[in-house]
Amino acid sequence: GAVVSQHPSRVICKSGTSVKIECRSLDFQATTMFWYRQFPKQSLMLMATSNEGSKATYEQGVEKDKFLINHASLTLSTLTVTSAHPEDSSFYICSARSGSDIGELFFGEGSRLTVL
Amino acid sequence: QKEVEQNSGPLSVPEGAIASLNCTYSDRGSQSFFWYRQYSGKSPELIMFIYSNGDKEDGRFTAQLNKASQYVSLLIRDSQPSDSATYLCAAGMPRPLVFGKGTRLSVIA
């Protein structure tokens, strides 16, 4: 299957700082990428849809000014958590849709954010 | 609200038995359905997808889809301890995938 790489896998930061997470599609071009958040023992929650060359589409309840998404190329999308707080501590996972008609998603390895 | 419902489990089965995981979805517009496996602390990995009514088999896994009942299932034959994980059902196309909360499967050796 397609390969999606995410970095960093773990990050610990102080409250009030910003953290950037990168998501790359390694062997295919992804015009659309998706960012999910998962709290312990909870389901994946879609945060936003990242569109190459245009503004991201955010799900209801997700603050676009807090979670900045940039999709500057067909292989790279970034999520920046600005002014992070302890309640932002979570597992953030990016994904990209395959180019097939089925539309299956391939996930990055995930980034575990801990805000102290 | 577009929802995908799963029994959270845990579902415990003995090694070698058949594990049956079930899922219902509310959006009749969904065209494709996916089963992902997620080990603790890891991101989901795709096991199977299905988009036509009936059964689809891949090795020890069989996905079943009944669009009239809005029901999807995953059967795992000859369950192994390494199958112990959380299984996520997802429905999609044309919308972005909507995930269920997952069913935790425990295969007892």
What DSSP state is assigned to residue B99? E
Query: Which pLDDT value is given to residue B31?
Result: 87
Mutate to test the interface with B, among A105, A112, A114 (most CBs of B within 10 A): A105
Asked if the model's pLDDT at residue A42 lies above 90, the reply is: no
Percent of chain B with pLDDT over 70: 95
Residue A50: strand pairing partners = A33
Query: Which pLDDT value is given to residue B1?
Result: 57
Of A49, A103, A110, the CB nearest to B42: A110
CA A36 from chain center: how many Å? 6
Helix H or strand E segment including B56 = strand B54-58
Please report residues of B whose CB lies closer than 8 A to that of A108.
43
Neighbours of A37 (CB within 10 A): 21
Asked if the model's pLDDT at residue A1 lies above 70, the reply is: no
Please report residues of B whose CB lies closer than 8 A to that of A106.
46
Query: Which pLDDT value is given to residue A27?
Result: 82
